Amino acid sequence: MNPLDPDEPNPAGLGPLGAGPLAADPHRGSPFGSPAARPNPLAALHDDQVIAVVRAHRIPDAAALCAALAEGGISWTEFTCTTEDAPELLRRAAQAGHRVGLGTVLTAEQAEQGVAAGASFLVTPGCRPEVAAAAHAAGVPVVLGALTPTEVAQALDLGAAAVKIFPARVFGPAYFNDLRGPFPGVRLVASGGVTAGNAADFLEQGAFAVCAGSDVVRPELVAAGDWAEITRRARAFVQACEFGVRAR
């Protein structure tokens, strides 16, 4: 039995994407139901593996950017609150049919803006209780940031659909294998310092997915609208991941 496979039996009672034991779900009984009871858009990451994180000052065409990434094999895009007008950019991409989320979410207000714009998931750089509460209230999965085992446990207590280990470069790929010991059913996402050169290593060591940042979506390429180069970089990143044997 593999706890990372959503299609296999789950006698331990883990919620989807390792959202903690169902019996301990702090959101059970809410008007929106528990995170485990709702369909989770992040489940498809089990196969897709990669989220493109766009941290650029200027994005001339959000939908075209997502299309360029998708052509290169990356169908998940995270816009960040550090980009001006991020909710509006997200809205345009979502209306074009792309799978998009809002990242670097620090407040409930930002979370609500992202949901209103069409975000299918929210991401934080650390454990943010008010963001988790807003996400649950809206029925949108949240990926909470953590680094230490204590923070991973806190993220699970807050009902995280997955836990982003950030910055992943600090302890490297082997750290994900270490975390699988105490957290065998948790979906861990590697973010920060992940490149085409090490992405497969993170996946082999147990990461559920990896974030492709400036290695693929360099701010200057985004600002220039160089979609062909972004597609090339996305394809190279995905191909590098496919060389790794995923730990499932």
The yes-or-no answer on residue 151 being catalytic is no
Beta bridge partners of residue 102, listed in sequence order: 79, 122
Backbone angles phi, psi at 103, to 5 degrees: -115, 180
Catalytic residue selected from 71, 84, 164, 242 = 164
Asked whether 89 and 59 are in contact (CB, 8 A), the reply is yes
Phi first, then psi, for residue 139 (nearest 5°) are 75, 30
Contact between 131 and 102 under an 8 Å Cβ cutoff? The reply is: no
Residues 6+ positions from 31 with CB-CB distance below 8 Å: none
Crossing angle of helices 108-117 and 129-138, in 10° steps, is 30
Catalytic annotation, pick one of 78, 109, 130, 242:
78
Phi-psi region of 28 (alpha: psi -120 to 50; beta: other; left: phi over 0): beta
- The alpha-helical segments, DSSP class H, found in the chain are 45-48, 62-71, 86-95, 108-117, 129-138, 149-157, 174-179, 199-204, 219-224, 227-242
Has 204 been annotated as catalytic? no
Asked if 35 and 15 touch (Cβ cutoff 8 Å), the reply is: yes
Chain length of the chain: 248
Helix residue ranges, H only, 35-85: 45-48, 62-71
The residues annotated with a catalytic role in the active site are 78, 164
